[in-house]
Structure 1
Amino acid sequence: MPTLAVANLRKVDLGPAILDYLQKIDATLAPYDGRFLVHGQPVTVLEEGWVGDFVVIIFPDRARAEAWYRSPAYQAILPLRTGNSDSTAFLVDTVPETYRATDFLKTLGIG
């Protein structure tokens, strides 16, 4: 299943370091077949609590997502983002097209 790298970036300093990060990140994604799905587009906040920009990168699987994040190329530019923003990033696997909310109940032994 595809894996998403998701980030919520708050308080971003759009100075030279972030510009450098943006100029270099695409090259770090290519060897792992990663690509942007969402990159800072405006969000419509439906419930309270959201602040900042939203980024989603898709990879064919978790192994490639983790390999990208740990790669020397990405680790070299990571401080450009973390040092110039308040951000949270994580990996999450997608679900099959046939997935239904009740499938989660089965993982809990209910239903």
Structure 2
Amino acid sequence: MAWIYLFLAGLFETGWAIGLKYTEGFSRLVPSLLTVAAMGVSFWLLSAALRTLPVGSAYAVWTGIGAVGTVILGILLFKEPVTVARMLSILLILAGVAGLRLTSGG
């Protein structure tokens, strides 16, 4: 169950990272409230996962999921560039996340 919490925490991290763009420096109320809510949910789920998972692995996986999700949504929503280097970097992050999942307890 901890890995499910961690995966969801990573998705909410992606949500709040993308949400930051829509807040326009926290000057827009609704996007700001949704972003802060996503932050809270992400941190709560991460803390639940940390009850049983090693902190180093869990934190790295959480940020990896968030990073990959944010890059992908940046491409889809904001027309950020798709380059070979970016795609290879995403694959490396995913390989690291998978490796940590396979070698960590919980």
Asked if TM exceeds 0.5, the reply is: no
More strand by share: 1
Greater relative contact order, per chain length (Cα 8 Å cut-off, separation 6+): 1
Rg (Cα) greater in structure: 1
